[in-house]
Amino acid sequence: MTKHDVDQFAVTREPFYREVAGEIALYEAAYARRMPVMLKGPTGAGKSRFVEYMAWKLGRPLITVASNEDMTASDLVGRFLLDKDGTKWQDGPLTTAARIGAICYLDEIVEARQDTTVVIHPLTDHRRQLPLDKKGELIEAHPDFQLVISYNPGYQSLMKDLKQSTKQRFAALDFDYPEAALESEIVAAETGVDAKTAEKLVQIAHRSRNLKGHGLDEGISTRLLVYAGQMIAQGVDPKSACQMTLVTPLTDDPDMRETLLAAVETFF
Ligand code: ADP
């Protein structure tokens, strides 16, 4: 692996991240021991942004993998590809991360099938190894390598959950939407809307979060608030901006949409 190949995974600019509950120091301590870390929480609550920030702060390359149910172990580890000279091995993202000492972030790992998930096991205990069975190679993880996964407890069902044998390989940090003042600050900083507008957006989100479990699977996330702020900063009238970013993506239920629109109209 050339320096160029490693450089492409570097986080070169400081990502904007506001600490919520002491998670930066806790993560640093876990990283010092190369402990695998699980980030738990709803979608759009800042998990990915946090890993980017920590990779930048620790000066480590970051390799992110979005998991899905069709993902196989080979998609993570690598496979033989056919080219004009025959077959050629190509490392998967997990293998690359283990070789170069990156932080490997497996986003929504629970989406992956269990036979895929188990390939991370030997990397997460004292062995810190990755067997490439098809290639007949055993990789010792680079001393700086660390594995991070995200997990949304809201989506889990009995059918789709991580096995205890997987869960208990990670230390975990809870992520939730930040309290109102901090979330408003984040929305204002990310979008350029004024503080008052950001506060109103956060209040709309709070109303929707109270509807979780009462017709909504999830409330409005910080990510959607950032979208709303971006549309408003783009000159779209706030009501249309909120409809497009806070209501329409969230639910198809006509009654729920009406309830959410009413919340929007209270503030804009
Ligand atoms: P997740 O990975 O939990 O689904 P993201 O990390 O993608 O969520 O967060 C969504 C967006 O919310 C980010 O792009 C960022 O704009 C904003 N955000 C959420 N939490 C924070 C935070 N603590 N500091 C800065 N931005 C945040």
In the reported structure, the alpha carbon of residue 192 is separated from the centroid of ligand 1 by a whole-number distance in angstroms of 16
Residue 62's Cβ-count burial label (10 Å; 0-12, 13-18, 19+) is buried
For ligand 1, say whether the CB of 45 is within 6 Å of any of its atoms: yes
Q: What is the pLDDT of residue 110?
A: 85
In the reported structure, the alpha carbon of residue 44 is separated from the centroid of ligand 1 by a whole-number distance in angstroms of 6
Q: Please check whether residue 107 is in contact with residue 12, taking contact to mean a CB–CB distance below 8 angstroms.
A: no
Q: Is the pLDDT of residue 156 over 80?
A: no
User: Tokens 């904007």 belong to which residue?
Assistant: 16
Q: What is the pLDDT of residue 157?
A: 59
In CATH, 7-174 is 3.40.1190.20: no
In the reported structure, the alpha carbon of residue 88 is separated from the centroid of ligand 1 by a whole-number distance in angstroms of 38
Q: Between 61 and 154, name the one with better pLDDT.
A: 61
Question: Running DSSP on this structure, what letter comes out for residue 62?
Answer: E
Q: Is the pLDDT of residue 158 over 60?
A: no
Among protein residues, the one with the nearest Cα to ligand 1's atom 11 is 223
CA geometry: angle 50, 52, 56, nearest 5 deg? 115
Q: Is the pLDDT of residue 260 over 80?
A: yes
Q: Please check whether residue 154 is in contact with residue 137, taking contact to mean a CB–CB distance below 8 angstroms.
A: no
Instruction: Report which of 101, 98, 95 is spatially closest to residue 10, judged by C-alpha positions.
Output: 101
Query: Which atom of ligand 1 sits closest to the CA of residue 42?
Result: 3
Predicted TM-score (pTM) of the model is 0.94
Which residues are bridge partners to 183 per DSSP? none
Q: Between 262 and 152, name the one with better pLDDT.
A: 262
What are the pLDDT digits (tens) for 48-59?
A: 999 999 999 999
Structural domain spans, the chain: 7-174, 180-267
Q: Is the pLDDT of residue 3 over 80?
A: no
- Report the amino acid identity of residue 198: A
Residue 130 burial (CB count, 10 A): 25
Average pLDDT over residues 244-263: 97
Q: What is the pLDDT of residue 112?
A: 86
What are the pLDDT digits (tens) for 183-204?
A: 999 999 999 999 999 999 999 9
Q: Is the pLDDT of residue 255 over 70?
A: yes
- What does the alpha-carbon distance between residue 205 and residue 44 come to, in Å, rounded to a whole number? 12
What are the pLDDT digits (tens) for 27-40?
A: 999 999 999 999 99
Average pLDDT over residues 170-183: 96
- What does the alpha-carbon distance between residue 47 and residue 40 come to, in Å, rounded to a whole number? 8
